[in-house]
């Protein structure tokens, strides 16, 4: 898999990307106003949301005299709803496995299932 490159910013390499989500509670609050439900401390809940990227910023910081540039995406939630916990667990586990595989590949590891040694 080729290494993913973020677009340059001001002729500088962009090292990482982050996402900030706003207005995620707006749709839920409206739903709870119409159909009230109490959530309790420690409850595990899962939601799926749709959003629109409304802003892209770049931040720079230094770590050990090395400049790190971060691309920050602000996503405004346009729709959100609670989903079944089992479905959420399945999707989150699949995403975690894909991330772990991508991280292993980025670290130069191969899998025995891929014929690696």
Average pLDDT, the chain: 88
Which of 27-36, 46-55, 94-103 is least confident?
27-36
With beta carbons less than 8 A apart as the criterion, state whether 53 and 74 touch.
Answer: yes
Sheet of strand 16-22, all strands in order from the earlier edge strand to the far edge: 16-22, 66-82, 47-63
Q: Model pTM?
A: 0.75
Three-state DSSP at 25 gives helix
Distance CA 111, CA 106 (A): 12
Q: What are the structural domain ranges in the chain?
A: 16-83
Which tens digit of pLDDT belongs to each residue from 69-102? Answer: 999 999 999 999 999 999 999 999 999 999 999 8
């Amino acid at each position: 898999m080729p290494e993913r490159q973020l677009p340059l910013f001001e002729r500088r390499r962009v090292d990482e990307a982050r996402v900030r989500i706003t207005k995620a509670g707006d749709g839920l609050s409206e739903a709870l106003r119409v159909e009230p439900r109490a959530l309790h401390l420690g409850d595990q809940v899962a939601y799926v949301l749709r959003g629109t990227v409304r802003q892209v910023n770049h931040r720079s910081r230094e770590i050990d005299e090395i400049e790190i540039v971060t691309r920050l995406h602000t996503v405004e939630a346009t729709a959100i709803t609670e989903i079944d916990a089992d479905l959420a667990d399945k999707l989150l586990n699949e995403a975690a496995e894909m991330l772990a595989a991508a991280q292993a590949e980025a670290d130069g590891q191969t899998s025995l299932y891929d014929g690696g040694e």
